[in-house]
Amino acid sequence: MNHYACEYVRDNAHINYIESFWAGTNRSTMEIFHHISKKRLHRYVSEFAERPNMRTMNIMDMIKTIAINMMKKRL
């Protein structure tokens, strides 16, 4: 996409989702963590990528998913 040329959609392809994802990630970073180290960037991105996938779950399913994903992992 070339936003400078006022091109926002090309053949049903757009980048709204990824722009929204990065905007939310940046906002959450400043509000929650205040700083992200390059060494652990992949962990932060993984957390923020999982949030939209879990938002339709009920609370008990969220807890189960988080607990399963934490098993045998270093915190």
Q: Is residue 42 part of a domain?
A: yes
Q: Is residue 19 part of a domain?
A: yes
User: 16-28 vs 41-54: helix axis angle to the nearest 10?
Assistant: 120
Range of the domain at 55: 3-70
**What pLDDT does residue 1 have?**
64
Q: Is residue 75 part of a domain?
A: no
Those residues of the chain that have pLDDT short of 70 are 1, 75
**What pLDDT does residue 75 have?**
64
Q: Is residue 35 part of a domain?
A: yes
The total number of residues written for the chain in this structure: 75
- Number of domains observed in the structure of the chain: 1
Q: Report the SS3 class of residue 26.
A: helix
Q: Is residue 24 part of a domain?
A: yes
For residue 27, which of 52, 3, 48 has the smallest C-alpha distance? 48
